[in-house]
A and B are shown apart, each in its own frame.
Chain A
Amino acid sequence: MFTPKTGPELWLYIAGALLVSGVLVTSLQLVPGRLRKPLIALVTFLAGLFYIAEFFLPVDPTTRANFLTDYRAPIAQVNQVLLSFAVGVGVYSLLTLHTKNIVRRRQGWGFSVLLLAAMFGILVTGLLKEYRPNPINQAAFSLFFDGGLKSLDAAMFSIVAFYIVSAAYRAFRARSVEATILLVSASLVMLGQVSLGQGLTAGLPTSGFLSNLRVENIREWILTRASTPALLAVELGLGLGALSTSIRLWLSLERGSYFEKDV
Chain B
Amino acid sequence: MDHATPFARVFLLGLFAVIVGMVLWAQSGKRFFIRRIPGLSAIDEAVGRSAEMGRPMLASFGLGGLNAQEGVITLQALAIVSDVAEAAARFGNRVIVPVRIPALMPVAEEALREAYTRGGRPEAFQLDDLMFLSDRQFAYAAGVSGLINREKVASIFLFGTFFAEALIIAENGNRVGAVQVAGTPSTTQVPFFIAACDYVLIGDEFYAATAYLTRQPTLLGAIVGQDIGKAVLLFFILLGVVLTALNVPLVVNLFADQAVPWAEMLRPVAPAAGAGG
> Per-residue CB proximity of A152-190 to B under 8 Å, as 1/0?
110011011001101110110000000000000000000
Q: How far is the CA of A167 from the CA of B128 in the complex (A)?
A: 32
List residues of chain A with CB within 8 A of the CB of B68.
Answer: 51, 76, 79
List residues of chain A with CB within 8 A of the CB of B99.
Answer: 90, 93
List residues of chain A with CB within 8 A of the CB of B204.
Answer: 237-238, 240-241
Chain A residue nearest to B20 (CB atoms) is A247
Contact assessment for A259 and B102 in the assembled complex, using a CB-CB cutoff below 8 Å: no
> Which of A80, A90, A164, A234 neighbours the largest number of chain B CB atoms within 10 Å of its CB?
A90
Contact assessment for A248 and B23 in the assembled complex, using a CB-CB cutoff below 8 Å: yes
Which residues 81-111 of B sit at the A interface, judged by CB distance below 8 A? 82-83, 99, 101-106, 110-111
- Give chain A nearest CB distance to B219 CB in angstroms: 6
Q: Which of B9, B111, B208 contacts A258 (CB 8 A)?
A: B111
B76 at the interface (CB under 8 A from A): yes
Contact assessment for A164 and B110 in the assembled complex, using a CB-CB cutoff below 8 Å: no
B223 at the interface (CB under 8 A from A): yes
Contact assessment for B138 and A152 in the assembled complex, using a CB-CB cutoff below 8 Å: yes
Chain B contact residues: over half helix, strand or loop, or mixed? helix
Q: Which of B105, B150, B192 contacts A89 (CB 8 A)?
A: B105
Contact assessment for A90 and B226 in the assembled complex, using a CB-CB cutoff below 8 Å: no
Question: Given A167-B167, A170-B195, do A244 and B226 touch, yes or no (CB 8 Å)?
Answer: yes
B185 at the interface (CB under 8 A from A): yes
A242 at the interface (CB under 8 A from B): yes
Contact assessment for B138 and A244 in the assembled complex, using a CB-CB cutoff below 8 Å: no
Contact assessment for B233 and A256 in the assembled complex, using a CB-CB cutoff below 8 Å: no
Q: How far is the CA of A237 from the CA of B135 in the complex (A)?
A: 30
Contact assessment for A163 and B4 in the assembled complex, using a CB-CB cutoff below 8 Å: no
List residues of chain B with CB within 8 A of the CB of A56.
Answer: 3-4, 9, 12-13
Contact assessment for A256 and B219 in the assembled complex, using a CB-CB cutoff below 8 Å: yes
A55 at the interface (CB under 8 A from B): yes
List residues of chain A with CB within 8 A of the CB of B138.
Answer: 152-153, 156-157
B65 at the interface (CB under 8 A from A): yes
A102 at the interface (CB under 8 A from B): no
- Give chain A nearest CB distance to B148 CB in angstroms: 13
> Per-residue CB proximity of A214-228 to B under 8 Å, as 1/0?
000000000000000
Contact assessment for A234 and B202 in the assembled complex, using a CB-CB cutoff below 8 Å: yes
Q: How far is the CA of A88 from the CA of B2 in the complex (A)?
A: 34
A94 at the interface (CB under 8 A from B): yes
> Per-residue CB proximity of A54-95 to B under 8 Å, as 1/0?
111101000010100000000010011001001111110110
> What class of interface size applies to chain B in its complex with A?
35 or more
Q: How far is the CA of A171 from the CA of B99 in the complex (A)?
A: 29
A34 at the interface (CB under 8 A from B): no
Question: Given A237-B204, A247-B20, do A255 and B218 touch, yes or no (CB 8 Å)?
Answer: yes
Q: How far is the CA of A55 from the CA of B210 in the complex (A)?
A: 28
A30 at the interface (CB under 8 A from B): no
Question: Given A245-B76, A248-B23, A255-B219, do A240 and B226 touch, yes or no (CB 8 Å)?
Answer: yes
Contact assessment for B203 and A237 in the assembled complex, using a CB-CB cutoff below 8 Å: yes
Q: Which of A64, A86, A233, A243 contacts B19 (CB 8 A)?
A: A243
List residues of chain A with CB within 8 A of the CB of B83.
Answer: 256-257
Question: Given A156-B141, A237-B230, do A167 and B192 touch, yes or no (CB 8 Å)?
Answer: yes
Which residues 105-121 of A sit at the B interface, judged by CB distance below 8 A? 107-108
> Per-residue CB proximity of B201-236 to A under 8 Å, as 1/0?
011101110100110111100110110011001000
Contact assessment for B115 and A241 in the assembled complex, using a CB-CB cutoff below 8 Å: no
Query: Taking beta carbons and an 8 Å cutoff, which residues of B are in contact with A?
Result: 2-4, 9, 12-13, 15-16, 19-20, 23, 65-68, 72-73, 75-76, 78-80, 82-83, 99, 101-106, 110-111, 114-115, 128, 130-132, 135-139, 141-142, 150, 164-165, 167-168, 170-171, 174, 185, 187, 190-192, 194-196, 202-204, 206-208, 210, 213-214, 216-219, 222-223, 225-226, 229-230, 233
Q: Which 5 A-B pairs have the closest CB atoms?
A: A90-B102, A241-B207, A256-B214, A156-B138, A86-B103
